Amino acid sequence: GDVRVAMVADRAPPQPGPTLIAVGSGKGGVGKSTLTANLAVALARLGRKVGIVDADVYGPSQPTILNNKGQKPEARDDKLVPVPSPHGIPLLSMGHLVEPGVALAWRGPMAGNAMAQLIDAHWDGTEVLLIDLPPGTGDVQLTMLSKFKPAGAVIVSTPQDLALIDAQRAANLFDSGKVPIIGLVENMSGYACPSCGEVSDPFGKGGVEAAADATGIPFLGRIPLAMEIRTASDNGTPSAAGDGHEAEPFHAVAKQLAD
Ligand code: ADP
């Protein structure tokens, strides 16, 4: 019995790598990293084995959001080993590769190679790998499309026209690389005044859904602008890890990704 099992195991095909899902945006600062971390935590709560590659060369913030800053990934057989986080999300970040506070003044090809190292790592046991891309449509995105074929891309934008135009450009890049756009997420959508409760829309509202409708891309939902979401990120405990009402919109988007 045992010998046969061992032989069969020897001949088993290599485990397929995790499903890659790219999270992109046209602009920086629209909440791509915040969304990536919260989606990972929400998907993990749905029972998925999720990891994150933080490929945002310009501002690698996942080690802060997921609270595993200062840890260095080890290498085994010339490949990096993802660093665990307290929220059960293993992570490899551009931020892990440099000293804190040192700017990543890397040229495109170097950044692309660094990202490739983060993806081509020991992700055994991870089912879904979310890639937090740098904003825009630069070399890292092109490396992503030429070297790795993500199963799909999620694009995040604020409802502001200027952000949306850039988001459309990011969507077009994935489209031209034959990567299906899973959908658009509207972040910073509506703000409830903590003192009077009145809801206002600093960046407008509904623009992302309208853009999704116009282009036939699915609309995955809106995340409000909320102080709690920002403080939760800064404190290393993403909102989706808790049961506050801020967690709900992230879980709603994650459910659609899980299906
Ligand atoms: P990006 O990855 O697109 O550059 P970040 O996720 O780093 O953007 O978000 C930029 C800033 O906005 C961060 O300080 C983050 O905590 C904050 N932020 C993002 N989304 C929200 C939100 N829905 N409500 C409040 N603050 C947010």
* Residue 118 vs residues 32, 88, 91, 155, 250: alpha-carbon distances, Å: 18, 18, 9, 21, 25
Q: How far is the CA of 117 from the centre of ligand 1 (A)?
A: 26
- To the question of whether residue 81 is assigned a binding role by annotation, the answer is no
Could you please state the CATH topology (level 3) that the domain comprising 17-258 is classified under. Answer: Rossmann fold (3.40.50)
Name the residue of 94, 132, 233 to mutate for ligand 1: max ligand atoms within 8 A of Cβ: 233
Question: Kind and range of the H or E element at 199?
Answer: strand 199-200
Q: Tens digit of pLDDT for each residue in 109-128? A: 788 888 999 999 999 999 99
Question: Count of CB atoms within 10 A of residue 76's CB?
Answer: 10
Output the pLDDT for position 59: 81
Q: How far is the CA of 247 from the centre of ligand 1 (A)?
A: 15
Output the pLDDT for position 13: 53
Q: How far is the CA of 234 from the centre of ligand 1 (A)?
A: 10
Return mean pLDDT, the chain. Answer: 90
Name the residue of 52, 62, 230, 234 to mutate for ligand 1: max ligand atoms within 8 A of Cβ: 230
Question: Among 90, 33, 25, which Cα is nearest to 59's?
Answer: 33
- To the question of whether residue 177 is assigned a binding role by annotation, the answer is no
CA distance 133 to 58: 10
Instruction: Give the mean pLDDT of 60-75.
Output: 92
Domain ranges of the chain: 17-258
β-bridge pairing 199-200 and 191-192: antiparallel
Q: Which residues line ligand 1 (CB under 6 A)?
A: 25, 28-34, 59, 61, 187-188, 223, 225-226, 229-230, 233
